[in-house]
């Protein structure tokens, strides 16, 4: 079926580069039932222009769900339904930043966010970070220096929980320090919370959104990883003033709430209990996939097992560069994303590779890891 999807598998490659769900885990049957339920429950209202911030049934369910996961912290007037986290990122960045501004980004961080942020015309600059993530004290100095030089610095983008690419979460003290710094300096923390629900050990750390009480933090959520990326459905958590700005944008005025029909179907999917069952099931599958890849890679390299998310951030043996290894791995029938892609200035990370365990079943993950191992061994 040509011409249908963004990326097709390459013949002969067991690919560890894709941060995509395993196709067999997409809820095709349950989504079909939810679509039929939405047609029955909402009739023509599902197929006309939707309320600006999203349909009330979904906003109410999402409010209760987010409050459940974090013990409170969200009200319906703090939500705006989007076409996924990327869309939320583009909307917030374009409202809060523009040409001449500086947008700071964690480092390493989600590489595909860099272009979305650069689309605003702002300059995207690496924030100081170490193995634990953004360093608040060094960030305060960087911010002061940039502002003293006359630059406007409205935003810091980060993925503090089960990060892409590292799988790590920002320590509690740094979360508190960042929230305090944001309050003190007027910097907005743009928290990408895409992986919160894909937690495999204990509970996820509290979000910056929750810790800040919504002050100076905007949070992005998505159903892309928990349910399906093709839905193009997510949300923004922000203070009501920013939500009003989003809801009164010209394109919302003209076209109504974003992705209204899918949003109403998502409500039915959630209200029937399918969402809860599905997330529990995929969490167990991704945990098993994580374990399969971790144990296969540990046969030849030490690697940390992340507590959540989709990625292993693997340190290469001394003297092996990620970029050089990629060509050799591909000749050997596997692939990954080299570390430098996750640095906005491309400087750094050649001693690391990102392996995704989301897209392949355990046996294929083990096969891919074996091919990577022999590409490494061949390097001597």
Ligand X SMILES: Cc1ncc(COP(=O)(O)O)c(C=O)c1O
Binding positions for ligand X, rule: CB under 6 A: 19, 84-86, 110, 159, 164, 192, 194, 222, 224, 229, 234
Strand-pair category, 352-356 with 311-315: antiparallel
Q: Which is nearer to ligand X, 359 or 371 (CB)?
A: 359
Q: Which is nearer to ligand X, 37 or 337 (CB)?
A: 337
Min dist. Cβ of residue 85 to ligand X (A): 4
Q: Which is nearer to ligand X, 61 or 162 (CB)?
A: 162
Measured from each CB, the residue nearest to ligand X is 84
Angle (nearest 5°) at CA 200 between 199 and 203? 55
Min dist. Cβ of residue 294 to ligand X (A): 19
Q: Which is nearer to ligand X, 166 or 222 (CB)?
A: 222
The 3-class SS string of 198-248 reads: CECCCCCCCCHHHHHCCCCEEEEEECCCCCCHHHCCEEEECCHHHHHHHHC
Secondary structure (DSSP) of 181-199: HHHHH-PEEEEE-TTTT-B
Q: Which is nearer to ligand X, 17 or 212 (CB)?
A: 17
Min dist. Cβ of residue 188 to ligand X (A): 17
The span from the CA of 161 to the CA of 134, in Å, is 12
Q: Which is nearer to ligand X, 19 or 373 (CB)?
A: 19
Structural contact between residues 134 and 174, judged by C-beta atoms closer than 8 angstroms? yes
Structural contact between residues 309 and 163, judged by C-beta atoms closer than 8 angstroms? yes
Strand-pair category, 155-158 with 188-192: parallel
Structural contact between residues 81 and 261, judged by C-beta atoms closer than 8 angstroms? no
Min dist. Cβ of residue 111 to ligand X (A): 9
Q: Which is nearer to ligand X, 164 or 207 (CB)?
A: 164
Min dist. Cβ of residue 164 to ligand X (A): 4
Min dist. Cβ of residue 113 to ligand X (A): 6
Buried/exposed code over 275-292 (b: 16+ C-beta within 10 A; e: otherwise): beebbeebbebbbebbeb
Q: Which is nearer to ligand X, 63 or 222 (CB)?
A: 222
Q: What are phi and psi of 337, to 5 degrees?
A: -105, 125
Min dist. Cβ of residue 17 to ligand X (A): 11
Q: Which is nearer to ligand X, 19 or 333 (CB)?
A: 19
Min dist. Cβ of residue 8 to ligand X (A): 18
Sign of CA dihedral 75, 76, 77, 80: positive
Min dist. Cβ of residue 178 to ligand X (A): 17
Structural contact between residues 296 and 360, judged by C-beta atoms closer than 8 angstroms? no
Residues 6+ apart with CB under 8 A from 38: 46, 261, 264, 265, 267, 268
């Amino acid at each position: 079926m040509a011409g249908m999807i963004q990326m097709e598998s390459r013949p002969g490659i067991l690919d560890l580069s894709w941060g995509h769900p395993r196709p067999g885990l997409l809820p095709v049957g349950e989504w079909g039932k939810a679509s039929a339920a939405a047609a029955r429950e909402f009739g023509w209202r599902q197929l006309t222009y939707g309320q600006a911030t999203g349909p009330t049934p979904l906003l109410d369910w999402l409010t209760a769900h987010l409050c459940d996961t974090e013990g409170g912290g969200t009200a319906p007037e703090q939500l705006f339904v989007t076409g996924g986290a990327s869309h939320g990122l583009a909307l917030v960045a374009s409202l809060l930043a523009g040409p001449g501004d500086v947008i700071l980004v964690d480092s390493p961080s989600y590489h595909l966010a860099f272009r979305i942020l650069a689309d605003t015309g702002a300059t995207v600059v690496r924030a100081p970070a170490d193995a634990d993530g953004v360093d608040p004290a060094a960030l305060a100095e960087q911010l002061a220096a940039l502002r003293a030089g006359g630059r406007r610095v409205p935003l810091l983008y980060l993925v503090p929980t089960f990060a892409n690419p590292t799988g790590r979460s920002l320590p509690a003290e740094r979360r508190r320090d960042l929230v305090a710094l944001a309050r003190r300096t007027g910097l907005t923390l743009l928290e990408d919370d895409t992986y919160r629900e894909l937690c495999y050990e204990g509970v996820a750390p509290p979000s910056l959104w929750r810790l800040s009480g919504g002050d100076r933090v905007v949070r992005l959520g998505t159903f892309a990883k928990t349910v399906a990326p093709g839905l193009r459905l997510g949300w923004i958590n922000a203070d009501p003033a920013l939500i009003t700005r989003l809801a009164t944008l010209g394109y919302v005025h003209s076209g109504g709430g974003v992705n209204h029909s899918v949003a109403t179907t998502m409500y039915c999917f959630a209200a029937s209990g399918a969402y809860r069952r599905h997330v529990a099931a995929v969490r167990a599958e991704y945990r098993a996939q994580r374990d399969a890849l971790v144990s296969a890679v540990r046969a030849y390299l030490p690697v940390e097992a992340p507590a959540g998310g989709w990625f292993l951030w693997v340190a290469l043996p001394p003297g092996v560069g990620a970029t050089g290894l990629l060509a050799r791995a591909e000749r050997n029938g596997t692939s990954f994303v080299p570390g430098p892609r996750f640095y906005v200035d491309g400087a750094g990370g050649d001693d690391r590779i990102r392996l995704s365990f989301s897209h392949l079943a355990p046996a294929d993950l083990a096969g891919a890891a074996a091919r990577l191992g022999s590409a490494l061994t061949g390097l001597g």
